[in-house]
Amino acid sequence: MSYYNLISLMPKTPAVDPDAQAFITAAAITDPTQQSAINQLVVDLKGYSIWSKMKALYPFVGGSSTSNSYNLRNTAQYQLSFSGGATHNSNGYTSGVNGYANTGLNPNTAFSTNDSMHLSLYSRTNNDLGGLDFGGLNASAVTGLYARFSNNAYAYINGGSGVLTGNTNSTGFYVGTRTASNVLKLFKSGTQLGSTYTGANGARLDLNAFLGALNVSGTAQYYTQRNYAFASIGDGLTDAEALNFYTAVQAFQTTLGRSIGTQTVSDADAQAFVTAADIQDQVEANAINNLVIGMKADGLWTKMKAVYPFVGGTSTSTSYNLKNTAQYQITWNGGITHSSTGVLPNGTNGYGSTGFFFDSTTALSSHISTYIRTNSTTLACEIGSGNSSGSDECFIVRNGSTYLNNQCSGQAQRINPSVADARGLILNSRRANNDWETYKNGSSLGTNTANNTYTGGSSYILNLFRRGGIGTNDLYSAKETAFASIGDGLTDTEAANLYTAVQAFQTALNRNI
């Protein structure tokens, strides 16, 4: 084979779109993932015939005020000027308590008609501080896009009337678009939130549009303190174009690992949970996906009856069972705080009812586990159930420096190891009538080989942060928890593998102990 034939068979580097390259060069983007994401975004927008409708595109990549300032559509126009306490990182630009960005784009001079214009923004922050995200207001005109103000989303484009719709979460990709004098619509993440038909529109805004605050007659007001990962200004977009725009921008954000919205993952069981719990953060979704894949690889998945990863930061998202979202969903009661680091009960009346109970058959091979993030010596139950006589108990209880552990047995079968630090993955496993073992972070804390038969019953439902079934001695916990599981008994190897999988999961979420 000739040299020239060999050359013809060698893989070719895909061509970089010249507009994408112009931005990459001007903004000094050196990261290959960011370069690829920018190129694909431009290719997608052109493929959807949206590129020509743009006047300013701000993809916020590079992590600096300089790289974030450039307009992807034309690096020589409408470069952002940042003021106040704006911050810049890999997730984009955050306005701060007094920060904003001046686009330099004045709609009155940039557009020749009042009937076709859009604004878009990609918000990664959920707050309602009274802030107004994008646009301006003067005596004769208002043009603005507001992801959340008093629990509503707004879109005003060249007019005093606009779209107003309820919205209690300001994260996502928002597009406000006017395509005719009487057609104004607002979209969130590809879904139309509302529309208004005014019959006429007002004058074009004769001020530069600000992002992160509203330009009120030349002065920045109503700061949002939100993190933005994308923004644009251009001609009006049709319904199909608004949807395609979201598809392109969401793919861009996903490539960069900063997308907001219900995520897509590879494992079907992980996807069922991500969808049901409405997991909006890609890092959380990927962590869930890897957790499921890891548990399946180690033969743990089939042994689980309920897995609670406590992600999403809401009472709904933290209630779902990863193993089966249609079973054993937690009912939260009393004082509970839900956040990105897990679930924190108040120690007085907060607990979660799993709806799960062991019976005399399932208890013979059973386990419970919990990943604790709070070190406390206060007498409290982290997960458990039982009865007043102590003849049938399943619990993990902390008392001083000792764990009073039991797995579906009577009081004589407890394992009570002394542990200085309450934090980590605590697991009780029962493999037979005379085989109990307790583990911390995959290592055995002790065993019990006394013979005991569990009778159980429907009254002994497993609770989180409360023993339950004990009458007044409920032992409410005040420890933050970042994982819990219920299932069949685990061997030493399986207990170690579960810890490895759970610890990797917590590390991915930056909340590991």
> Rounded to 5 degrees, what are φ and ψ at 370?
-155, 140
Q: Give the pLDDT confidence score for residue 441 in this predicted structure.
A: 98
pTM above 0.85, yes or no: no
End-to-end CA distance of the chain: give it in Å, rounded.
60
Residues 186-210: pLDDT tens digits? 999 989 998 876 656 778 999 999 9
All structural domains of the chain with their residue ranges: 18-255, 268-508
Multiple choice CATH, 268-508, 2.60.40.10, 3.90.1150.10, 3.40.1800.10, 2.60.120.200: 2.60.120.200
Rounded distance between C-alpha atoms, residue 436 and residue 414, angstroms = 9
One-letter amino acid of 307? V
For the domain made up of 18-255, give the CATH fold.
Answer: Jelly Rolls (2.60.120)
Which of 62-71, 100-109, 141-150 has the least mean pLDDT? 141-150
Helix H or strand E encompassing 45: helix 32-47
Identical topology for domains 18-255 and 268-508: yes
In this prediction, residue 453 carries a pLDDT of 78
| Helix, strand, coil percentages in the chain from 3-state DSSP, rounded to 5 | 20, 30, 45
Look at 34-38, 283-287, 408-412 and tell me which has the smallest mean pLDDT.
408-412
Rounded-to-integer distance, Cα 507 and Cα 513, Å: 8
Section 219-227 average pLDDT: 95
Partners of 220 in beta bridges: 215
pLDDT tens-place string over residues 289-320: 999 999 999 999 999 999 999 999 999 999 99
What percent of the chain clears pLDDT 70, i.e. is strictly above it?
93
Mean pLDDT across 27-33 = 97
Q: Which among 332, 251, 317 has a CA at the least distance from the CA of 285?
A: 317
| Confidence category of residue 458, pLDDT binned at 50, 70, 90 | very low
Q: What is the mean pLDDT of residues 149-172?
A: 89
Say how far apart CA 461 and CA 81 lie, in whole Å.
59
Q: How many helices (H) and strands (E) does the chain have?
A: 9, 31
Task: Answer yes or no: is pLDDT of 123 > 80.
Answer: yes
| Residue-wise DSSP of 116-128 | -EEEEEEE-----
How many CB atoms are located within 10 Å of the residue 359 CB? Answer: 14
**pLDDT grade for 11, boundaries at 50, 70 and 90:** very low
